[in-house]
């Protein structure tokens, strides 16, 4: 999708459980909540805003943002943008989807930040990054300099990969990344890897 390439350190094993919504900020969170959540994971404001730029691609369901449309429109939302969103989500209980980034929805670039500067951030947690004085200048810096955003995003993703690292006998090495191994498959995978390493050593 055009995003930056970055190298992740090797050796981290897959968790036997998947992340839950409890581990992620809510789409209704304001900047204070987001900064506090990420600070607990050792991320500063710049790194947090860079990670939020992942919303330059992807979709959101109406329930994640209709609170900004009904019963009253969020004043931080551009009126034309809001009217277009109402066509996608004609009622507060609609469940359709729309893109996060209206300028280049299928390209990983810095247009997400341009959206925020134009009051066209989809979620409360997106738009408030520009509304809040603590993070506004960071949003602006990424909006005008895509290379800077790519560099900060890559560094923040690498840092995230170092959280709660599982090694040794912890976790597992999945045969298919999106699916936990069955017990039988897990032992087969481990045997194959041990055999491969013994051949190298």
Which positions make up the binding site? 25, 55-56, 101, 109
> Distance (Å, rounded) from C-alpha 77 to C-alpha 102?
14
Binding-site residues for substrate, please?
25
Binding-site residues for heme b, please?
55
> Distance (Å, rounded) from C-alpha 128 to C-alpha 196?
50
The residue among 167, 172, 168, 169 whose CA lies nearest residue 188 is 172
Contact status, residue 15 vs residue 174, Cβ threshold 8 Å: no
How many angstroms separate the first and last alpha carbons of the chain? 38
The residue among 43, 51, 45, 85 whose CA lies nearest residue 68 is 85
The alpha carbon of 135 is separated from its chain's Cα centroid by a whole number of angstroms, namely 17
Q: Element (H or E) spanning 187, and its range?
A: helix 183-200
Binding-site residues for Ca(2+), please?
56, 101, 109
Phi and psi at residue 12, to the nearest 5°: -80, 135
């Amino acid at each position: 999708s055009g995003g930056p390439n970055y190298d992740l350190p090797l050796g981290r094993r897959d968790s036997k459980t998947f992340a839950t919504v409890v581990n992620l900020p809510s789409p209704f969170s304001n900047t204070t909540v987001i900064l506090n959540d990420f600070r607990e994971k050792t991320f500063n404001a710049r790194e947090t805003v860079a990670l939020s730029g992942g919303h330059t691609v992807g979709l959101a369901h109406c329930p994640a943002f209709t609170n900004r449309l009904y019963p009253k429109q969020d004043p931080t939302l551009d009126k034309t943008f809001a009217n277009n969103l109402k066509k996608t989500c004609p009622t507060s209980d609609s469940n359709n989807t729309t893109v996060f980034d209206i300028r280049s929805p299928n390209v990983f670039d810095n247009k997400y930040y341009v959206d925020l500067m134009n009051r066209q951030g989809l979620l409360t947690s997106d738009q408030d990054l520009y509304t809040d004085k603590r993070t506004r200048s960071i949003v602006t810096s990424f909006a005008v300099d895509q290379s800077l955003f790519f560099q900060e995003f890559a560094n923040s993703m690498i840092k995230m990969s170092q959280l709660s690292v599982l090694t040794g006998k912890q976790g597992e090495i999945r045969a298919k990344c999106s699916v936990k191994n069955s017990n039988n498959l897990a032992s087969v995978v481990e045997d194959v890897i041990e055999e491969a390493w013994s051949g190298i050593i």
